[in-house]
Amino acid sequence: MGIFNHVTIVDYGMGNIHSIQKKLKQLNVTTIISSKIEDIKNAERIILPGVGHFGKAMDNLKNLDLINVLNQEVLVNKKPILGICLGMQLMAKYSEEGNTSGLGWFDAEVVRFKIKDTLNHKVPHTGWNEIIIERQSNLMNKVENLSEVYFVHSYHCVANNQEDIINATNYEYKFTSAVQKDNIFGVQYHPEKSHDVGVQILKNFIEL
């Protein structure tokens, strides 16, 4: 696989971004971690990671003046972008966490898990769980249905358009665990922590 010199991992102060960079380095992919507008403009592909509070994350993006450039590069210039965990949630219209509007790229809301059997289903949802492949996507090339990936989250997306959903996962009930609309991809799980399956998903994104 060739080396890509223009994969920008957006640094807006939320989450463990270096583990993503390390995993991509294993795939011979050169990345930069940056919050600079020019680095997002120059990117061939963009990764929007994140762990933490939705409202705080949106505040950080606004304070860094990154929302306009992300909208331009993703919605107008159609650059491939991958949102990971909170990064996927930020692509929704709204989140209960902070009662905050998101980027609005997907017709979706972010809600807290509403678990009844709290003995068997703890919140946050942490650890390995299966992904159901709801529809074919290039992000899922060579990924088997019911593969296990690693999750850490208390909130999840409710996608209103079924055609946007590429993965679902059961945790007491079925929730959306990956989405795609055109050049925009999001995964609720952490591919950088999901061993061979996660590496394949990252490889698929780089090779889009």
pLDDT digits (tens, 9 = 90+) for 115-141: 999 999 999 999 999 999 999 999 999
Mean pLDDT of 92-111: 98
Q: Across the strands, what pairs with 45? A: 7
Mean pLDDT of 89-113: 98
Q: What is the pLDDT of residues 142-199, one digit of tens each?
A: 999 999 999 999 999 999 999 999 999 999 999 999 999 999 999 999 999 999 999 9
Instruction: Show which residues are catalytic.
Output: 85, 190, 192
- SS3 call for 189: coil
Amino acid 195 reads H
Alpha helices (H) along the chain: 18-26, 37-41, 54-63, 67-71, 86-89, 195-206
Beta carbons of 165 and 159 less than 8 angstroms apart: yes
Whether 5 has a pLDDT exceeding 60, the answer reads no
Architecture of domain 7-206: 3-Layer(aba) Sandwich (3.40)
Give this prediction's pTM: 0.96
- pLDDT band at 3, cuts 50/70/90? very low
